[in-house]
Amino acid sequence: MTSAAWYDPYAGLPTDVDILFWCVLAVTATSLLSVVILRVNASRVRRRSMPDADEADFLWVFMVPALNEEVTIADSVARLRAVQATHKVILVIDDGSDDGTPAVLERFAGSDLSVLRRDLPDARRGKAAALNAAWRHTHDVVLDQAAGAWTTDRVVVVVVDADGRLSQDAPRHFARHFVQERVAGVQSLVRIYNRRGWLTWAQDVEFAVFGGVYQLGRTAWGTANMGGNGQANRLAALDEVAVDDGPWRHRLTEDQDIGVRLLQAGWRGAQEMDATVEQQGVSSLRRLYRQRTRWAQGAWESVGLIGGTRRANVPVVARLDMAYYLIMPILQLLTGSALVAAVLLAAFDDLSFWRGAWPILAFYLLLSFGPGLLGLLTRGRGMRGALSAVLCVLPYTVYSWLVFPVLLRGLLRMLLGRSTWAKTAREPIEHQIQATVEE
């Protein structure tokens, strides 16, 4: 194989491999450019002053979908009771639990807690169906009991998973966004509370980078998306995008789906870094693959939303970013294919074309590690933060590569029409806060 020139590093490779590598080079360079732009945007958002707001001007409805959550539901309800909101309702959707969940909830009975019990055959039809039932309950019962005290533009629905730990002052930070009348949703910063091992540490870094770079950067355009746990939505916006039985459609990633549809309907989305929701990380690689395969399948389902990006009332660059975000599974699959091809070439072919082009190899390494490094730099400040980012970029990148196979598995499941999934098992909670039970 001949030595590669600087302008044609893939000279001598088979044509199909040459095309694949050039495509992936373009994707990687574009990804790096995207991260740079979003990081600049994020810095602007951090310096931006927010309008004054009072959380007491809103009714906060905390929706907690629960299916066999006896391990975590007591901790979740106790923490929501500690959330500082003048007007709030905690609405737990017991989606046909057959473990100790109903008994735990019965012990927590009180004026601030409503339990919406769903039984078979209506129950266990997915998180979207449970949330839609809670949406109808909010209209038919919660607002009816309020006797007209609240209009839908002043009602905020906050989705908290049964293992979620929402920060106590979250409503105060959310309110600063919802006083802006076209804001439909605000996403909390997701953190992992059991981040003791490498796998759960990497998940915590992943969420921190996604929130602090991608989500916060898109907040500058009003295109931050929803992430399920810790997402807050204006009820009026949910009503506008409601279809069939409610706002949420039956998707494996119903949070991503509704977030994109809200943006395409002309609403705005934001990331709030001062409001956090901690959740339980997955400590088993096998269970992580199962969880991420479900997420990947949901991402493949969302590719079909790309046609609606032209309707979003945002700058052209923001619409391009939305489209890029939606086709990310395709681009990631291309990148993963190129990685496999490179390994096979290294094992069974002559890679002498790299020997005369080491500057190009260095550039490719920058492209490979650059996005992760830039993201990690947002987690700390000064020399200590920079050193931490350099030390963490390799294990974090290895973690990113480990989850590549789920893209192909998720695509195959979608093509085969498989959409049923076993629930991710919870781990015992070591440090629960003292539960408060109303008499």
Instruction: For 59-109, write each residue's pLDDT tens digit.
Output: 999 999 999 999 889 999 999 999 999 999 999 999 999 999 999 999 988
Across 197-338, where does the E strand assignment appear?
A: 231-234, 268-279
Residue of 369, 416, 376 lying closest to 397 (CA atoms) = 369
- Helix (H), strand (E) at residue 377: helix 358-377
- Residue 251's domain is classified under what CATH number? 3.90.550.10
Residue of 216, 212, 227 lying closest to 375 (CA atoms) = 212
What length is written for the chain? Answer: 439
């039809």: which residue's tokens?
Answer: 125
Residue 430 maps to a domain = no
pLDDT given for residue 404 in this prediction: 78
Residues of the chain falling short of pLDDT 50: 353, 356, 434-439
For β-strands 231-234 and 183-192, DSSP reports them as antiparallel
Q: What is the pTM of this model?
A: 0.88
Separation of first and last alpha carbons in the chain: 80
- Statement to judge: residues 41 and 85 lie in one domain: no
Q: Are 92 and 113 in contact (CB under 8 A)?
A: yes
CA distance 77 to 412: 38
- Statement to judge: residues 40 and 97 lie in one domain: no
212 is written with which tokens? 């602090």
pLDDT given for residue 435 in this prediction: 47
């707001």: which residue's tokens?
Answer: 53
pLDDT given for residue 109 in this prediction: 84
- Crossing angle of helices 15-47 and 358-377, in 10° steps, is 30
Which region holds residue 128: left if phi is over 0, alpha if psi is between -120 and 50, else beta?
alpha
pLDDT given for residue 200 in this prediction: 92
- Statement to judge: residues 37 and 103 lie in one domain: no
- Statement to judge: residues 162 and 277 lie in one domain: yes
Q: What SS3 state is found at 196?
A: coil
What range defines the domain where residue 358 resides? 1-51+208-223+283-421
- Statement to judge: residues 413 and 310 lie in one domain: yes
Residue 427 maps to a domain = no
pLDDT given for residue 397 in this prediction: 76
- Statement to judge: residues 6 and 126 lie in one domain: no
Residues 6+ apart with CB under 8 A from 307: none
